[in-house]
Structure 1
């Protein structure tokens, strides 16, 4: 069982995933800082000094901090945009697949039926 685990953990996919998780965590810290320290103040400046993190409303004893949700959505959109740009760049660098030329199409059903009809008329 231990040998199977060693084989599993040594596969390239598992190592790639581990590296991706570590880099993703570090990237999340960068995006969080960018949103909290740069983007939200700019949006607040344009929107008249609105600080999203302070937006909330109360309902009974519950306090709903919907401003934090807005910050999370902004962070998500930034991460999604950056991932999109990375995938697009990687796809551009990958060699293009050369498709084999399509084989000529055979006769259609109508052509076959017409040929059969011509042969039957000859008999």
Structure 2
């Protein structure tokens, strides 16, 4: 049993995951510091010296902490953007520039295009038939 555990623990994937967790934790601390210590104070100064964390709306004894929500939303966007930049940097350093995503064609695109064109033709022919009908009615009267 000890040999199996040693074999499991010394596999490459376990070490890679452990390293990823440690780096992820450190990265989270850096991004949280960036948001809490740099970005939010600047936004607070621009908004009139208000700290968003403590903005509260009291309605009938219920506190709605919308400032905390705003803080969390900013955290999310900064973290998402930071991860995006980190992945681009990582791919660049590995020598693999990120390739822009192409729109993959729908497997039935040709069929759908034909159906669309047929519907347009049918609509046009119905309009022409209606105009001819009106014209005929006017001549008959």
Bin for the TM-score computed over the shorter chain: 0.5 to 0.7
Structure 2's unaligned 5+ residue stretches are 97-141
Provide the C-alpha distance between the structure 2 equivalents of 1:22 and 1:29, rounded to a whole number of angstroms. 11
Tell me which of the two structures has the higher relative contact order, counting C-alpha pairs closer than 8 angstroms and 6 or more residues apart.
1
SS of residue paired to 1:75 = helix
For residues 90 and 51 of structure 1, the distance between their equivalents in structure 2, rounded to whole angstroms, comes to 35
Q: CA deviation at 1:43?
A: 0.6
Q: How does 1:75-86 map to 2 (within 5 A)?
A: 75-86=75-86
The TM-score with structure 1 as length reference comes to 0.63
Change (3 A) 1:44 1:8: same
Structure 1 residue 95: Cα displacement? 4.2
Tell me the residue number matched to 1:39: 39
Q: Distance in 2 between matches of 1:64 and 1:2?
A: 54
Q: Is the contact made by 2:31 and 2:82 (CA closer than 8 Å) also made in structure 1?
A: no
**In the aligned structure 2, how far is the partner of 1:25 from the partner of 1:37?**
18
Corresponding residue SS for 1:16? helix
Distance 2:68 2:5 in 1: 41
Across the two proteins, how many residue pairs are aligned to each other?
A: 96
CA distance in 2, matches of 1:68, 1:93: 37
Map 1:58-69 onto structure 2 (within 5 A).
58-69=58-69
Aligned to 1:74: 74
Residue 6 in 1 paired to residue 6 in 2? yes
Query: Structure 1: which 5+ residue stretches go unaligned?
Result: 97-123
Query: Any idea what SS the aligned residue of 2:49 has?
Result: coil
Q: Equivalents in 1 of 2:26, 2:9: separation in Å?
A: 23
**Structure 2 CA distance for aligned equivalents of residues 78 and 67 of structure 1:** 17
Superposed CA offset, 1:24-57 (max 9, x none):
2222222222212211111112222231101122
